[in-house]
Structure 1
Amino acid sequence: MPITAMRAKRICEGDEYVNYVYHADWEDKRTRRNIEEEESYTFLLYEEILAFKNASLNCNLKKGDIDDIFFNNAYHLLND
């Protein structure tokens, strides 16, 4: 999951998304924003967790459902 270690901001619109990357070394205007805004970017992993949080709220997931996804699945993978 190397992409999650990048500093970036993900913008989602419908079924599409764009990753705006911190100090990208290319000139693609679709994936670049202004330099000042890039300073606020965090790791894409945190963007993914925030997206999951928002989706879980939209789907009315219960605490137990979220525990299953974040803890219990990993626990069973490692211990069964």
Structure 2
Amino acid sequence: MKAERIHVYGIGSSGIAAQEFKYKFFRIGLYIEAITDPHHAIMDASLISKKSVVIGISISGETQELIKTIKIAKKQGSPIIIFTGKKTHN
């Protein structure tokens, strides 16, 4: 499947990484949006489709606004990729 659009969400300092994703992918010709405002991210996620890919970036892995946004995107059926610095302990 080729994604029609890529949506990158990052809030706070993670938003800087989201902007970098946009610059790099846009240069190679992909349609990509970087959204760093939590309210805008929630609205955007509610309008995406299965033909969109969502990339979520959270350095802490605990940003509640981003978690809410990703859950909305998942309900819309969009494939999700998450980048986080959170370490898990087994």
Identify the TM-score tier after normalising by the shorter chain.
Answer: under 0.3
Whichever structure has more strand as a proportion of its residues is: 2
**Larger relative contact order (C-alpha < 8 A, sep ≥ 6)?**
2
**Higher Cα Rg: structure 1 or 2?**
1
* TM-score, L = length of structure 2: 0.24
TM-score for both structures, normalised by structure 1: 0.26
